[in-house]
Structure 1
Amino acid sequence: MSNLSDDTLRKAVTSQKQLSIVKAQIASKEKERKILSLTVRELGSVPTDGQSTMYKGVGKMFIEQDRAEINKEHASQEKTLSEEISNLSKKAKYLEKQFDEANGQLKDIFHSQQRQAAAQ
């Protein structure tokens, strides 16, 4: 019986650790998406003046790029971030379910041992 409770306890702890890691990843991706959204909004407010050339920061230098290309790149990044957040959310729900199940099993084990001790 103790082997079962050890495995269940280990599963609960592992699930909790993984869940906290996934939640941190979700927060990080949400932050990236917010920064990207602000960048897109600011670039949208810049007048075109007949020019469609902009500069993109790469490391310590800037590269000249077409405005349409930058907009396309931002849209792609937004789509990728949304997909990653969706996948991480699904993983978080799974881990929460796994953690709840392990906690339920631990409670059942604890209550059954209490009943056995009371019966003696």
Structure 2
Amino acid sequence: MSIPNEALQKLLQEIEQKAAFSQQQIQIVKAQIAAKNRESRMVQLTSSELNTLPKDTNVYEGVGKMFVLNPTEDVKTRLATETNELKSDISNLEKKLHYLETTYKNSRDNLEQLFKASGSR
């Protein structure tokens, strides 16, 4: 069974576009994962610094252009929540990255199959 040249070209173009889009999205997701990892590391460092302070110490947190005095326990609770959210975000981004990499690989495999099929004509 042979595919007409026009249909083959259209199919080839669609697969190439899908592969290019997947590749762009892979780069974006990798950058997002790196940013979330940096943010997670900052939260972890802040939390470890807070753990070295005495329990009754109050700390200042930046809110917009001002600073607010908060007890360390409140800040630790906020940091723990933020850590859990970041872990969840990173996990979701890794799933998305895996999906995009699979899509990209499948597109490349389909392109190779098309070239082999059209070359054997």
When normalised by structure 2's length, the TM-score is 0.89
2:54 alignment partner in structure 1? 47
1:108 alignment partner in structure 2? 113
- 1:43 Cα deviation from its structure 2 partner: 1.0
- 1:52 Cα deviation from its structure 2 partner: 4.1
Specify the SS of the correspondent of 2:54: coil
CA contact (8 A) 1:30 1:85 kept: yes
CA RMSD of aligned residues (A): 1.1
1:27 alignment partner in structure 2? 34
Identity, in percent, stands at 35
When normalised by structure 1's length, the TM-score is 0.90
1:58 aligns with 2:58: no
State how far apart, in whole Å, the 1-side matches of 2:109 and 2:23 are: 14
- Following superposition of structure 1 onto structure 2, how do residues 57-76 of structure 1 map, counting pairs within 5 Å? 57-76=62-81
2:95 alignment partner in structure 1? 90
CA contact (8 A) 1:52 1:68 kept: no
- 1:75 Cα deviation from its structure 2 partner: 0.5
Aligned residues between the structures: 114
Unmatched 5+ stretches in structure 1: none
Letter in 1 for 2:10: N
Letter in 2 for 1:104: D
Deviations 1:34-62 (A, max 9, x none): 011011011111223xx242211223321
